[in-house]
Amino acid sequence: MARTVEFTDTEFMIAQGARLLEDGKTFFVGWGIPQVVAILAQKLYVPDVVQLFEFGAIGPQSILPFVRGTMGGPQNTYRSLQWLNMNWAFSYSAAGYMDYGMLGALQVDPYGNINSTFLGGTFEKPGRRFAGSGGGNQVASHCWRTIIIIKHEGRRFVPKLDFVTSPGYLSGPGARERAGLPKDTGPYRVVTSKALFGFDERTKEMTLLSVLRGASPDDVIREMAFRPRIAKEISEIAPPTEDELRLLREEIDPSRIIIRGERMTAPA
């Protein structure tokens, strides 16, 4: 029988995210999963990536293990190049210095617009209320390439968002520029617990690029409330490697604060 790897959906998203970053580039890090992506990527793949946090940490090298309950504390501002504040932190992104940004989302639509504010009902009377933008709106507005990380569930991939918290390509080609957002910016990839999406250059619609080894494009599309475009050739995403899992489980998040999740398997 073929060997299989066991991992959680979160571990898979984190590993995928870490593989997407480029060395020697800058990375605006959102709270939660993106923090762990940044640490794994820097340890394993991109030692010279520059992390930046909205609470004013420029170029920190987060200490291990990752701890929860810090937002600008010594653990995630550790060994920074510079300590500043929020207005300066967003100056780095607004001036064009941030290559990548990474954000979680409650819902995402075909143009990569993000909802992180509420689900169901209206703004005045929401069904369920969540944290809102935080700095996500600035990250998605300013960074050259925004990566969205989202669990692969049908209710999260919707034709129309309950609320547009952070901008993707809005209503399609040219819409960001028409709204006044910085030119040539926008969502770059959507990392899910089953697949990886990009955006069609011409139509700016979400496009399936790759699926987890052992899964089919149909498995992926079935769990979406809209039909994405499909790339001509769908590549395969390797499950988390031994190195990725060992680092995540033993060094980065041994108490499984972030990496816990639904169990998954894939052929090794």
Stretch touching other proteins by CB under 8 A, among 34-42, 97-105, 162-170, 218-226: 162-170
Collapsing DSSP to helix, strand or coil, 136 comes out as helix
| Residue 58 to residue 266: CA distance in whole angstroms | 37
Task: Show contacts with other proteins in window 196-215 (CB under 8 A).
Answer: none
Catalytic option among 6, 11, 22, 54: 54
- 44/175 with CB nearer other proteins: 175
Residue 105 in contact with other proteins, rule: CB under 8 A: no
Residue 169 near residue 176 (C-beta atoms within 8 A) = yes
Which range in 1-9, 12-20, 75-83, 229-237 contacts other proteins by CB under 8 A?
75-83
Residue with the two structure tokens 């600035």: 138
Count H helices, E strands: the chain? Answer: 7, 16
Question: Which is closer to other proteins, CB of 12 or CB of 111?
Answer: 111
Work out whether the CA dihedral 143, 149, 154, 156 comes out positive or negative: negative
Structure-block tokens of residue 2: 């073929």
Residues binding other proteins: what is the number (CB under 8 A)? Answer: 58
The answer to whether 79 contacts other proteins (rule: CB under 8 A) is yes
Interaction of residue 174 with other proteins, rule CB under 8 A: no
| Binding flag, residue 34, other proteins (CB under 8 A) | no
DSSP-based three-state secondary structure for 158: coil
Residue 246 is which amino acid? R
In Å, how far are 52, 53, 179, 200, 207 from 61, measured between CA atoms? Answer: 10, 11, 36, 34, 33
Name the residue among 64, 31, 205, 215 with its Cα closest to residue 133: 31
Positive/negative CA dihedral, 166, 171, 177, 179: negative
Per CB under 8 A, 255 contacts other proteins: no
Residue 44 found at the interface with other proteins (CB under 8 A): no
Taking the complex as a whole, the smallest distance from the CB of residue 264 to other proteins amounts, in Å, to 26
Confirm whether 177 is a catalytic residue: no
Pick out residues in 115-134 that bind other proteins (CB under 8 A): 117, 121, 123-134
Q: Which residues bind other proteins (CB under 8 A)?
A: 54-57, 63, 68-75, 77-80, 83-87, 90, 94, 113, 117, 121, 123-138, 141-142, 163-167, 170, 175-176, 178-182
